Chain A
Amino acid sequence: MSRIAVQEERCKGCLLCTTVCPVQIIQQSERINQNGYKVAEVPAASMDKCTGCTSCATICPDVAITVWRSKKPKKAA
């Protein structure tokens, strides 16, 4: 499946990623990183909706998001 990983120690909690996700699965978590920022996350339950479009990573000013995309159009679970 397509998915993203947020490198939490790099996230500054700007939330720009949350505004560009076409399936709106990115949100602010309750976790605070060592710099005091509330980091962005995709709840595990929502990850299967990720399309791997890279919009969140593209707008992330901190290169904190890595994106993988399914090789096949259908989910391979």
Chain B
Amino acid sequence: MAGKKDKLFVKGNEAIAMGALAAGCKCFFGYPITPQNDIPEFMSKAMVDAGGEFVQAESEVAAANMLLGAGACGIRAMTSSSSPGMSLKQEAISYMAGSEIPAVIVNMNRGGPGLGDIGPAQGDYYQSTRGGGHGDYRLLVLAPASAQEAYDMTFEAFDLAFRYKNPVLILGDAIIGQMKEPITPREPKAVDPNEGGEWRLESTGGKRDHRIIKSLFLMDGELAGQNKKLQAKYDNMQKFVDFESYETKDAELIVVAYGSIGRIAKNAVRALRKKGKKVGLFRPKTLYPFPSVALDKLAKEGKRFLTIEHNLGQMVDDVRLAVRKHADSALFCVYPGNMPSPDDFEAPILKALKGK
């Protein structure tokens, strides 16, 4: 890697891989799928150079289960994929959430459903924020809008995963993954070698009782207790809610958008501001926990809302839930398969601004 503080000109995918390495990631389990291939390709050399383990698994199913195994050992580990592959990873993700195993998972969202296309999309919002697999669980979901954010969020994701003993999802898309931008790398983290020492599997050493990491709870009341514990953990995640608020103070209409669409929408908002339109942007950086409290506050101030998404309308549900006491949200969808530009957003924003 380049020396610290040097600016690097890299793809978002590479920024994610670099962020993971700087965060002390020691195992990477990958499988090819466009548009995230730069991550396993980068890791296949860099991870080994860093003294870690790289495995190209036989499937996304296997890669996610390898992640489960390494995570159970308290090792910082990561996998990456894109939408169809994410469907396959859901089994292990549910088990990791149920067994409270820390891990970092990257989804560079592409168009769907089915094989869809290899372009950007946000169709996996529900899957990402509602758990995605079977059972009732949540992931911490971070949504970068630039290569730098992709780097920074991945850099922090491992700390969050271990803090909550929960999988953390980085939700990007083909735009974030494939776009080249300058990033400023950070000083590599010094990971505590005893991280997770109170729960991780490392064999008994003949010194303690054996540990069991599992998600099966059959005794009377046991599973309910586990679910209650998990819910308390998800509630506790609220403190890590994060968002970008741009020109919202005097705005009459607030555009809510995340990831690459949030960034494109910001350009549209900026252009409209120059034309004197009182519009602002609210960009959730954490999709779970969702910044509902901040949105509710804006709603209370009398703002109106327009949600713009690269899907048929998924995050808009969360926006409406957040603002429901005082407002509603209009919706503008970019269909997966279409590439949006800032100009595309001006008309719907102006329409919503005129509103009722």
A and B touch in the complex (CB under 8 A): no
